[in-house]
């Protein structure tokens, strides 16, 4: 048997781009979704072209290009430009328009908020198509590397250390100037240049310390001023953003997101709960989160929002050599009597007012005669401290313990989007700088993820049919709404 040989490269061919793109390709879904959007109401610029000047690229074609590129893990404007020259699907999507990378980058820069609104428009569609249950929402955060090197991130300690080293170098060069023969002009000039550079660096670092004093921040980044040093998922530290996500339990679709400069998840849950309520227009649901969100003040806010929380309890800091039966969680609080009962059945009474932030419970008399005192405490008596948020902690702990099967689903729900975005969509780092711009990048990544999920759930034909029918109904409703008010204003009857 011989080898297979292809056709000659010089052979003329007649085909259209329509024939070159697969009948059930994702690019057709993206094209239809964007075409059916009202870009004027979303706030995109250049929706109506100017009457004079050179013709410009329409916002819809550039929005299609960005959604397709992010969905396929291509995010650099230069790489996107190359796709317009070699990718058949992109040529079909753009009708063979070939914008340069500057035009592509400027579109994203000038339409940060509208591109985020496109993500929310697709979430609304999923809600209308009953793909979002809204009864169980899982929350989690992940660190995504910012466009800022660790070397250009400075804490107050790092700045003081740098200034101390610079002072030592400056003194060293000043001593050299004194020792050098002034007839050696070249050596003196070179030393003076080095000294000037050292003084400039010192002045820059002192300026950073002054900025930290004015803002009250703990660190400053040169390239991306909003990025902060955080512990990453690989056990090290890097300059990152903390990306928060809310994922619906029905089909694992991302319903909302946020970008935080706080390395910890503490205090993030109530903010995300509020965003989900606004986006999905729902009030009551079950919020599931890991122990990073275990914060009394935050859980109290969630209760105020009428949302039930299932959050893993943080492990208490019990002494290592203490037997397990005397750990803090073995001391039971009685709300009716406002007392604690120890493992030996003795009652610990409060010694603070109920309004105190940290209330102390103990019983000196019981501890003096207890045969297990040495196992229970290293002091004269055992003291149990109760937070001002003790009631909400007890409530959440009880609910979490009763719903362990539901809590175990958390990872399956919320980790899947992060894994897909980081590894399948090349979203493990940000290209844009500042929190405002980074939000747009994560919106495009999550929009690409949601498109993949819905395509997998519904299939090509169903999603295309639903897109057409949804916007047909909306257009008819809007037309009737406009006609009604036109007739109402003219005093005529409308039926």
Q: What is the pLDDT of residues 352-381, one digit of tens each?
A: 888 888 999 999 989 988 988 888 888 888
Q: Are 241 and 144 in contact (CB under 8 A)?
A: yes
The string of pLDDT tens digits covering residues 179-230 is: 665 446 666 667 778 888 888 999 999 999 999 999 888 899 999 999 999 9
Average pLDDT score over residue span 78-101: 96
Question: Would you state the pLDDT for residue 480?
Answer: 54
How do residues 291-314 score in pLDDT, each as one tens digit? 999 999 999 999 999 999 999 988
Q: Name the pLDDT band for 37 (thresholds 50, 70, 90).
A: very high
pLDDT at 491: 45
Lowest mean pLDDT among 37-41, 182-186, 306-310, 437-441: 182-186
d(CA 435, CA 228): 11
Quick one: pLDDT at residue 231?
86
Q: What are the structure tokens assigned to 322, written together?
A: 């203490």
Q: Quote the mean pLDDT of the chain.
A: 89
Percentage of the chain modeled with pLDDT above 70: 92
Q: How many CB atoms lie within 10 A of CB 340?
A: 21
- Cβ(443)–Cβ(113) under 8 Å? no
SS3 449: helix
Q: How confident is the model at residue 482 (pLDDT cuts 50, 70, 90)?
A: very low
In this prediction, residue 115 carries a pLDDT of 97
Q: What sign does the dihedral 105-107-109-113 (CA atoms) show?
A: negative
**Cα four-point dihedral sign 292, 298, 300, 302:** negative
Mean pLDDT of 14-38: 93
Q: Which residues contact 443 (CB under 8 A, 6 or more apart)?
A: 115, 116, 118, 119, 257
CA distance 204 to 152: 12
Q: What is the pLDDT of residue 188?
A: 65
pLDDT tier, 178 (very low <50, low <70, confident <90, very high otherwise): low
> What does the block give as tokens for 85?
């020259």
CB 240 within 8 A of CB 146: yes
Question: pLDDT tens, 236-278?
Answer: 899 999 999 999 999 999 999 999 999 999 889 999 999 999 9
Contacts within 8 Å (CB) and 24+ apart, 238-241: 238/143, 238/145, 238/150, 239/145, 239/146, 239/148, 239/149, 239/150, 239/153, 240/143, 240/144, 240/145, 240/146, 241/143, 241/144, 241/146, 241/430, 241/435, 241/438
Cα dihedral 314, 316, 321, 327 sign: negative
pLDDT of residue 492: 43
What's the average model confidence in pLDDT over 46-74? 92
d(CA 214, CA 325) in angstroms, rounded, equals 50
- Estimate the share of the chain in helix, then strand, then coil, as percent rounded to the nearest 5: 50, 15, 35
pLDDT at 173: 79
The partner residues of 123 in beta bridges, in order of sequence, read: none
Residue 380, pLDDT score: 86
Residue 488: strand, helix, or coil: helix
């Amino acid at each position: 048997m011989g080898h297979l040989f292809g056709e000659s490269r010089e052979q003329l061919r007649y085909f259209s781009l329509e024939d070159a793109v697969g009948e059930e390709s994702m690019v057709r879904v993206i094209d239809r979704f964007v075409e059916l959007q009202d870009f004027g109401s979303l706030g995109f610029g250049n929706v109506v072209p100017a009457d004079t000047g050179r013709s410009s690229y329409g916002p819809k074609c550039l929005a299609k290009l960005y959604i397709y590129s992010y969905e396929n893990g291509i995010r650099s404007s230069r790489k996107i430009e190359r796709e317009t020259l070699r990718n058949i699907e992109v040529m079909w999507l753009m009708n063979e328009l070939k914008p340069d990378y500057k035009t592509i980058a400027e579109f994203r820069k000038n339409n940060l908020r509208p591109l985020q609104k496109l993500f929310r428009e697709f979430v609304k569609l999923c809600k209308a198509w009953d793909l979002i249950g809204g009864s169980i929402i899982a929350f989690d955060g992940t660190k995504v590397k910012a466009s800022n090197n660790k070397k250009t991130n400075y804490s107050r300690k790092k700045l003081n250390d740098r200034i101390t080293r610079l002072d030592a170098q400056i003194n060293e060069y000043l001593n050299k100037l004194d020792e050098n023969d002034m007839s050696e002009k070249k050596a003196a000039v070179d030393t003076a240049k080095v000294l000037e550079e050292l003084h400039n660096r010192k002045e820059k670092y002192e300026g950073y310390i002054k900025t930290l004093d004015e803002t009250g921040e703990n660190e400053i980044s040169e390239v991306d001023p909003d990025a902060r040093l955080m512990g990453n998922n690989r056990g090290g530290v890097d300059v990152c953003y903390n990306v928060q996500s809310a994922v619906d339990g029905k089909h694992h679709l991302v319903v909302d997101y946020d970008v935080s400069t706080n390395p910890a998840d503490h205090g993030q849950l109530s903010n995300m709960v509020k965003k989900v309520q606004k986006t999905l227009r729902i009030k009551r649901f079950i919020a599931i989160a890991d122990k990073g969100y275990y914060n009394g003040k935050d859980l109290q806010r969630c209760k105020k929002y009428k949302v039930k929380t299932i959050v893993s309890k943080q492990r208490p800091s019990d002494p290592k050599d203490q037997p397990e039966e005397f750990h803090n969680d073995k001391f039971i609080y009685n709300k009716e009597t406002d007392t604690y009962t120890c493992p030996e059945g003795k009652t610990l009474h409060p010694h603070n007012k109920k309004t105190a932030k940290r209330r102390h419970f103990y019983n000196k008399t019981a501890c003096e005669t207890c045969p297990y005192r040495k196992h229970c405490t290293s002091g004269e008596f055992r003291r149990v401290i109760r937070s001002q948020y003790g009631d909400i902690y007890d409530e959440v702990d009880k609910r979490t313990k009763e719903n362990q099967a539901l809590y175990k689903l958390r990872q399956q729900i919320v980790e899947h989007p992060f894994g897909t975005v980081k590894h399948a969509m090349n979203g493990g780092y940000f290209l844009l700088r500042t929190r405002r711009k980074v939000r747009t990048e994560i919106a495009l990544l999550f929009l690409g993820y949601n498109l993949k999920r819905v395509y997998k759930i519904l299939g090509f034909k169903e999603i295309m049919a639903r897109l057409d029918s949804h916007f047909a109904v909306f257009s008819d409703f809007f037309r009737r709404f406009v006609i009604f008010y036109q007739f109402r204003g003219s005093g005529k009857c409308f039926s």
